[in-house]
Copies of this chain bind each other. A is one copy, B any other.
Amino acid sequence: MTASPVRPAGAEVSRTVFGRAFAIIGAFADAPDEGLTLTGIAQRSGLPMTTTHRLVGRLEDERLLERDGEGRYRVGLRLWELGLLASRPQGLRRAALPVLEDLYEVAHQNVQLMVLDGVEAVVVERLSARDAIRLAGRTGGRLPIHATSGGVVLLAHAGEDLVERVLQEPLQRFTASTISSEAQLRATLALARRQGWITLRDHITPGSVSVAAPVRDARARVVAAVSVVSDASDGDHLVPAVRTAALAIGRTLR
């Protein structure tokens, strides 16, 4: 029972020119390294070929897409530059990176920083050791909130409204261990609040154990979650390190 945990951002087709243009850029979410042809873009974005052709031309004019010598397109350097102007992920990354690097040095596994966006968890930073267990998603990718320890921590502190919204859709299962019932989700959220951290096993990646703790800003609001995902048989020995890192990042935010 597996499914792709990574949903491309904005692959849906919207009415406006902007919406369609960003559906085109979203089509590159899982594009191969060699880029996409016009036909490939049209297929992935679900737009007619004529619309795709016209909008790709405009995006290329603005250098948001780049075309190589073989007519393949890639997302342009300029979009990357503009994206780095986003203050929420960049401010957090700046504050968190030294601490994440220390945590990485100690754990030598996958270290992640996540924030909430809608009903999903966005990976703002990930440091992975060469020999660490391979995870779904990537930096800048989205993960389902109920299936990742960082997501559960964020949801635990996000209020009942968001819990209701998450429960409106069936809880997708990636492995036999994924949280898949309301009762299980609510019990796990309560535990995360009570303990101040959570440990999940095998929730997306079989053989993984993941420990997450909340990062609080100056007003004690939970703004991010730090997690370590490893292939250790249990995550208990990582709990103090993850909690310390979360507190340290919170302190630098003040």
Q: Are A86 and B58 interface neighbours, CB within 8 A?
A: no
B62 touches A25 (CB 8 A): no
Contact B18 A91, beta carbon cutoff 8 Å = no
With A19-B62, A22-B64, A58-B16 already in contact, the answer to whether A89 and B85 are too (CB < 8 A) is: no
The count of chain A contact residues (Cβ–Cβ below 8 Å) is 51
- A29 interface hit (Cβ, 8 Å): yes
CB of A40 within 8 A of chain B? no
- B82–A90 CB distance below 8 A: no
Let me know if B91 and A28 touch, CB within 8 A: no
A169 close to chain B: CB less than 8 A: no
| Contact of A33 with B by CB under 8 A | yes
Contact sample, A vs B, 24 pairs, CB 8 Å cutoff: A9-B81, A17-B17, A18-B59, A18-B64, A25-B85, A28-B85, A31-B87, A33-B87, A74-B87, A75-B83, A75-B86, A77-B88, A77-B89, A77-B122, A79-B82, A79-B83, A80-B89, A80-B140, A81-B83, A81-B142, A82-B83, A84-B138, A84-B139, A98-B130
B62 touches A74 (CB 8 A): no
- Do B18 and A140 touch across chains, with their CB atoms under 8 A apart? no
In the bound assembly, the distance between CA atoms of A29 and B77 in angstroms comes to: 15
Which 9 residue pairs across A and B have the least CB separation, nearest first?
A83-B83, A84-B140, A80-B86, A75-B86, A75-B85, A80-B83, A28-B85, A81-B140, A74-B87
